[in-house]
Amino acid sequence: MADSVELILYGEGAAYDLGASHPLKPGRVLLTHRLIEEYGITARDNVTSTRARDATDDELRLVHTDAYIEAVKAAGNGKRGPWWEFGFGPGDNPIFPHMHEASARVAGATITAAEALLSGRADHAFNPSGGLHHALAGRASGFCIYDDPAIAIAWLQEQGVGKVAYVDVDAHHGDGPQDIFYDDPSVLTISLHQSGRTLFPGTGFVDETGGPGAEGSAVNVPLPPLTPDGLWLRAFEQVVPPLLEAFQPEVLVTQLGCDTHCTDPLTNLMLTTGAFLETARMLHELAHSTAGGKWLATGGGGYQWAKVVPRAWTIYFAEMAEFDLPDEVPAAFLREAERQAGEPVPLRLSEPAITTSPVTVEEIDAIVAALGRARLGL
């Protein structure tokens, strides 16, 4: 029998919209929903769609400070204040109307996914609007207001879940969950990302391994720019499966940022959709072999919002639902995506792999070796 899967819909209300000129486009989530529907995945017997609810203030307080939550509310309602102290201002984190409401909905969507797993409604659940992994306890950062993956993990802990593993495959380091759970040995955070030496947020090095009493609970794989599919997958395969097998979490939480794609305008990795397909397969297997099948997935980064993001996240959701995707993208989706983007979008899911790169196998293996030494305190 196929796994039961739930797709979490953001629903109506205040949009998480940082502005027309901002690279984080809300349309990428809507187009992902559209492509999943056009492929017919939501019509399968093992798939349900559920509208998100808003996270309550008490749920937000599981991670964020009272002062920060009140600042988000006040700033989004147009009140004046020293909002730069909380990370807001021109650039990455502009203030926008109803900012709290929109952000609480994203957090609530990921909690809704967690509820689906614990209630038995679904084996796997996916919130494409989530994955806002840069927000810290008292500060916005990197386009992120509330840290929905961290909130969902803390919510799971409050419900009695003992151990949670968080795997982040975004091009940017998953600094928020790492920071929030740095001293908690019951949460394993693993992040594969472009090195902080060349990309925001400038963190995520191999020597960041967890706080006192939680040594080894934070794992970082900082990869060089221009890392292609094969070498990225080599790093993943050497690091993630053995760690999850050893840790045996009760729930696997993943952040599936697809700004690792070779065409992403904000990053410098060289992945194609082939890597997303293989990563989805491995995460699905690991959810079953290590976490009793409980897999909570969130979206994340991705700034080719019409050309790449919907295809990437549909690949992941199809894997969760055990649905064999035709390679040809449905015509109705193509028309709508091209109308919104004002330019052509790819006709197929598949792409030719990039076979030339200055990055070598030896470089990747050296990073993994250094990671091993750091975890052993050598």
Tens digits of residue pLDDT in 70-119: 999 999 999 999 999 999 999 999 999 999 999 999 999 999 999 999 99
Residue 288 annotated as catalytic: no
pLDDT tops 70 at residue 378:
no
pLDDT tops 70 at residue 241:
yes
Q: Pick the catalytic residue from 98, 134, 172, 261.
A: 134
pLDDT, tens digit, 9 for 90 and up, residues 263-310: 999 999 999 999 999 999 999 999 999 999 999 999 999 999 999 999
Tell me which residue of 248, 244, 287 sits closest to 163, measured CA to CA.
248
* CA separation, residue 45 to residues 38, 116, 118, 285, 317 (Å): 16, 16, 20, 21, 15
Mean pLDDT (whole number) for 147-165: 98
Element (H, E) at 125: strand 124-127
pLDDT tops 80 at residue 327:
yes
Task: Please report where in the chains the tokens 């952040």 appear, as a residue.
Answer: 255
Sequence letter at residue 355: T
Class of 5-375 in CATH: alpha beta
- Residue 377, pLDDT score: 65
pLDDT band, residue 12 (cuts 50/70/90): confident
pLDDT band, residue 14 (cuts 50/70/90): confident
- Residue 355, pLDDT score: 86
Q: What is the distance in angstroms between the CA of the first residue and the CA of the last residue of the chain?
A: 46
* CA separation, residue 257 to residues 74, 167, 298 (Å): 30, 11, 8
